[in-house]
Chains A and B, each alone.
Chain A
Amino acid sequence: MSEEDPTRDRIARLLNTDRDALSQLLDGVDEDTRGALATHVASSWESRDEKTLKAVLSLLGVLPDVVSAKVAQKRMPPRFVARIAPHLSEGSFVSLVGRLEPEFLAEVSVWLDHPRCREVLRAIPQEHFLPAARILEGRGDWDTLAAVGRELDEETFAASLAAFDREALLADVEHRDPAYAERVRAALPA
């Protein structure tokens, strides 16, 4: 199992590449530089994809919300929906999320570039995300849950954890991500 390294994982998601191979490549690169590198890779993709992403957003923008959600879920891969997520307004994203099946939303969550989706992630009503979070929990995908959790403010983070068993959660994340475990303890006092 890979050691927890959120910035490496973010770059791996952006490049859709193996994170262990990336670990070797980034060996010796300090955390600040890695962060800048991740941001630079994300903005480089954005610069290249700008025209085509605008076309997709324009398409979804002219459709009624219910049709947009149906089109996204039935005809677009989750990874693709994750790519357009940072470009949606909070209102559009919340509306879309509220209409997606939990399984699909869980997959979208895996592929989001979480730091760039901070505002929209904070805007999602927890009841909309919770079923997807349960699926991620069932898979043991703590990397994704932690990546989403990192972008939430303390109040939303605490609310997002309310449905989880505190001790089971800590037992799962303690050895992998001590910083995340510490945040869980602060949000859910014993």
Chain B
Amino acid sequence: MSAQGEFERALRRAVPPELQGLDDGLLEQLTVLADAERVRRDEELRDSLTEALKEIPLPLRGVAKRAVIR
């Protein structure tokens, strides 16, 4: 499933009772708005982790990589 599908599924899963009557079109439009943000978040995360590892002093880098992978 695509990342977009994952977010859409999360947004539509377990909709709380107070949102049950909400116009389905509104959730749909919010999901569309979220799509652009999803791309930014994924880029931000990838870049941040890559850059963060560069900043970590060499003696700690192995521990840091293992922490990320774990």
Q: Which residues of A contact B (CB under 8 A)?
A: 11, 15-17, 22, 25-26, 29, 32-33, 36-37, 39-41, 44-45, 47-49, 52, 55-56, 58-59, 61-63, 67, 70-72, 74-77, 79-80, 83
Q: Which residues in B have their C-beta under 8 angstroms from that of A62? A: 60, 63-64, 67
Q: Which residues in B have their C-beta under 8 angstroms from that of A44? A: 7, 10-11, 13
Bound Cα distance from A75 to B16, whole angstroms: 37
Query: A75 touching B30 by the CB < 8 A rule?
Result: no
Bound Cα distance from A44 to B15, whole angstroms: 10
Given A15-B33, A83-B41, 13 other A-B residues pairs in contact with their CB atoms under 8 A:
A17-B33, A37-B22, A48-B7, A55-B69, A58-B70, A62-B64, A63-B56, A67-B57, A70-B55, A71-B56, A75-B48, A79-B44, A80-B44
Known contacts A25-B29, A77-B44: A56-B19 contact under CB 8 Å = no
For window 4-45 of B, CB contacts with A under 8 Å fall at 6-7, 10-11, 13, 15-16, 18-19, 22, 26, 29-30, 33-34, 36-38, 40-41, 44-45
Q: Which residues in B have their C-beta under 8 angstroms from that of A52? A: 45
Q: What are some 11 contacts across the A-B interface (CB < 8 A)?
A: A15-B34, A32-B18, A44-B13, A47-B10, A48-B3, A55-B70, A59-B49, A62-B67, A63-B64, A67-B60, A75-B48
- Smallest Cβ-Cβ distance to A25: which chain B residue: B29
Most chain B C-beta atoms within 10 Å of own C-beta, residue among A26, A39, A49, A83: A49
Bound Cα distance from A135 to B41, whole angstroms: 26
- Smallest Cβ-Cβ distance to B69: which chain A residue: A55
Query: B55 touching A58 by the CB < 8 A rule?
Result: no
Query: A25 touching B26 by the CB < 8 A rule?
Result: yes
